[in-house]
Amino acid sequence: MKNKTKNILSLNFDQISHWLINRGEKEFRAKQLWPWLWAKRVKDFSLMTNLSKPLRKILAQNFCIKWPEVRDIKESKDGTVKFLLALEDEKLIETVLIPEKDHYTQCLSSQVGCSLACTFCSTGQMGFKRNMYSHEIAAQILVAQDYLQKKNSPKHLTNLVFMGMGEPLLNWKEVREALQIINHPLGLNFSRRKITLSTVGIKGVLQDFGQSKLALLAVSLHAPTQELREKIMPKAARWDLNELVSVLAEYPLARRERITIEYVLLGGVNDTPEHARQLVRLLSRVKCKINLIAYNPGPDSKYRAPEKKDILKFEQILWSKGMTAILRKSKGQDISAACGQLIVMSKLNS
């Protein structure tokens, strides 16, 4: 039976504080309650021992604590873990834990599906179902942390990337609030330097995100010219590429920060030496580093993976022009958890 009480995770810190004060509680009670929800991951009000028993009872009468429900977990041979999560309305999303040498990075989703329908991305095949709420976005982290704790993992979750399902800046209101939950020192307490938000570039909203200083920026570029970008990601290309790059050239960065440029290499489409030279010219004014990603073909894909020799030529041209370029190793391909492969095909998401 569906719980009719409100999920307390859907309230931000200030809302919880106001709720408590309106019921005659002291202001500091919110500072006691918040860590139980987000830092200690407690799902039962009765276990919140520094709160009075009457307050715990009132909280239980008015609220529930509900995380996304884990419907499936797939583990890759390389250690990548993909979770299928059901939200409160039964909509399904995926989130991925990526193993690094001494830590984990989590790939977070921000929408159920995606409206941009980039031609090389499996998530776009789902279409757009709805925006995720801030607590749903942040609660993906609770699920992952709980999984690692139960596995007694020696490595901890330290890094977050908004590179899962959806375009984060098309859900900026909820993503902003999720980032505030994630940054909160009494809650999840992630440093902004450990959080990267990936976007195709949404005019106006990109500038607002830059001013927020809530996370680092990655831009899904994938083409060095407006014409090619219109072909492979037509909806994203509605913002003219030269205008986007002009905004990136003026983007507010701290002293040692750089924008990450993501570039998926599609075999025979955007991976030639001429494309590399065009990319160098395009980004000459931008303080950036380039993540090259070899395309991961999905079912019925219209593209192919690039040849290794073409990847090396492309990379070497960037290096020769003084660009910082890194070939990002794709993980989780055997469980469809690699870049651009997240997709939920289910009647529950219809």
Nearest in space to 292 (alpha carbons), one of 257, 255, 318: 318
Measure CA 59 to chain center: 31
Of the listed 94, 167, 262, 315, which one is catalytic?
Answer: 94
The reply to whether 339 belongs to the active site is yes
- The residues facing 293 across adjacent strands are 264, 328
Measure CA 146 to chain center: 18
Nearest in space to 61 (alpha carbons), one of 1, 8, 133, 2: 8
Of the listed 107, 114, 288, 339, which one is catalytic?
Answer: 339
- The residues facing 111 across adjacent strands are 131
Single-letter residue type at 28:
F
DSSP-assigned letter for residue 176? H
The reply to whether 114 belongs to the active site is no
With beta carbons less than 8 A apart as the criterion, state whether 10 and 16 touch: no
With beta carbons less than 8 A apart as the criterion, state whether 293 and 220 touch: no
Burial of 32 by CB count in 10 Å (0-12 exposed, 13-18 middle, 19+ buried)? middle
Task: Pick left, alpha or beta for residue 24 (phi over 0 → left; psi -120 to 50 → alpha; otherwise beta).
Answer: left
Catalytic residue ranges = 94, 339
